[in-house]
Amino acid sequence: MRGRIVSLSCGIYSINVDGVIYNAPARGLFRNRGIKPLVGDEVEIDSNNLIINTVYNRTSELKRPPIANIDQMLIIESLKEPEFSYLLAFKYLTYANMNNIKAKIILTKVDKQDDLKLISEIKETFKAIDIEVYVVSNKTKEGLKEVRELFSNHISCLIGQSGVGKSSLINAIDKDFERKVGEYSKALGRGKHQTKEVILLPYEGGYIADTPGFSSLELNLYKEELAEFYPGFSEFFTKCYYSNCLHITENKCAVKERIEQGLYPKIAYDCYLKLSEESIYKLRRFER
């Protein structure tokens, strides 16, 4: 039987086979070969022994959250509690690019934020690099119609720090999902990690993945790789004078020219400089 892993708990996988859920462990052999079936994997189950014996090739794989075969990343950030962070958004977008996954941004808790200037500034910034931004309230249901349409026939992964409203968004889309919702902690400045496991929920011909929140995302990229994967930078690849331009100190840099012309958002570039500072060179200076 062929199916898709929808969750994992204590070493037992739940697999959706044409709408019926089977629970099965994975064959011991996988462990010896260093293969770990992931939520999202398409697998073959031996129907006699109820054991996963094959994992089919993946189209994508994320380390964090551990999930396979998603084709869309929906970055969730709240407009308040926790505060919106550009740096985090650009980090997640870079992470999506590294993994060759399309990403969109959903801003939650618009009912709590009356700084309309902030909202339009965020929208403008991401529009400039061709990233769609949706604004919703899971409480008043504002903006949900457009967001609902994003999910059909996709395997979408919600990603974002604890307390931003990932599980609440899923409940707002369909209350029958009954996802447990946590509390925002003022002291911690984030949620209290309500969702502990990755779970795939069937929706409109696809799946929505609810995931545990995290904010300390380590990209583990060299400076050279960051310059390649950073949102909006791929188009400059051939336009800078130096083919391995890091867009920092180099002359005749297309990125810096675009910023001067107001065509690439300064705030995105500031976040880039910060992330670049935190990463190391792949090649030594004389090799570059």
Ligand X SMILES: Nc1nc2c(ncn2[C@@H]2O[C@H](COP(=O)(O)OP(=O)(O)OP(=O)(O)O)[C@@H](O)[C@H]2O)c(=O)[nH]1
Which residues are at the interface with Zn ion (CB under 5 A)? 240, 245, 247, 253, 255
**Contacts of 86 by beta carbon, 8 Å cutoff, 6+ apart:** 122, 125, 267, 268, 271
Q: How far is the CB of 273 from Zn ion (least distance, A)?
A: 13
- 255: partner contacted, choices ligand X, Zn ion, Mg ion, none (Cβ within 5-8 A by kind): Zn ion
| Per-residue CA distances from 108 to 146, 240, 241, 265 (Å) | 13, 37, 41, 23
- Report the residue number whose CB is nearest to ligand X: 213
Which residue from 69, 72, 94, 167 is in contact with Mg ion, where contact means CB under 5 A? 167
Query: Which helix (H) or strand (E) is 146 found in, with range?
Result: helix 144-148
Exposure string of 23-54, with b = 16+ CB inside 10 Å and e = fewer, is: ebebbeebeeeeeebbbbbbbebeeeeeebee
Using CB atoms within 10 Å of the CB of residue 257, give its burial: 0 to 12 exposed, 13 to 18 middle, 19+ buried.
middle
Q: How far is the CB of 159 from Mg ion (least distance, A)?
A: 11
Which residue from 166, 247, 256, 258 is in contact with ligand X, where contact means CB under 6 A? 166
Q: How far is the CB of 231 from ligand X (least distance, A)?
A: 22
- 134: partner contacted, choices ligand X, Zn ion, Mg ion, none (Cβ within 5-8 A by kind): none
Q: How far is the CB of 196 from ligand X (least distance, A)?
A: 8
Which residue from 7, 125, 195, 276 is in contact with ligand X, where contact means CB under 6 A? 195
- CA–CA gap between residue 36 and residue 66 (Å, rounded): 10
Q: How far is the CB of 158 from Mg ion (least distance, A)?
A: 8
* Residue span binding ligand X (CB under 6 A) among the ranges 66-74, 190-198, 201-209, 266-274: 190-198
Residues in 187-226 that interact with Mg ion by CB under 5 A: 194-195
Using CB atoms within 10 Å of the CB of residue 220, give its burial: 0 to 12 exposed, 13 to 18 middle, 19+ buried.
exposed
Concatenating the DSSP letter of every residue in 198-222 gives: -EEEEETTEEEEE------------
Cβ closest to ligand X, residue 145 vs residue 284? 145
Query: Which helix (H) or strand (E) is 7 found in, with range?
Result: strand 2-9
The CA-to-CA distance between both ends of the chain, in Å, stands at 52
Q: How far is the CB of 66 from ligand X (least distance, A)?
A: 15
**Is residue 183 within the footprint of ligand X (CB under 6 A)?**
yes
Which residue from 138, 147, 227, 255 is in contact with ligand X, where contact means CB under 6 A? 138
**Is residue 138 within the footprint of Mg ion (CB under 5 A)?**
no
- Cα angle at 247 between 243 and 251, to 5 degrees? 75
- 101: partner contacted, choices Mg ion, Zn ion, ligand X, none (Cβ within 5-8 A by kind): none
Task: Give the residues lining the site for ligand X (CB under 6 A).
Answer: 108-109, 111-112, 137-139, 160, 162-168, 181-184, 191, 193-195, 212-213
Task: Give the residues lining the site for Mg ion (CB under 5 A).
Answer: 166-167, 194-195
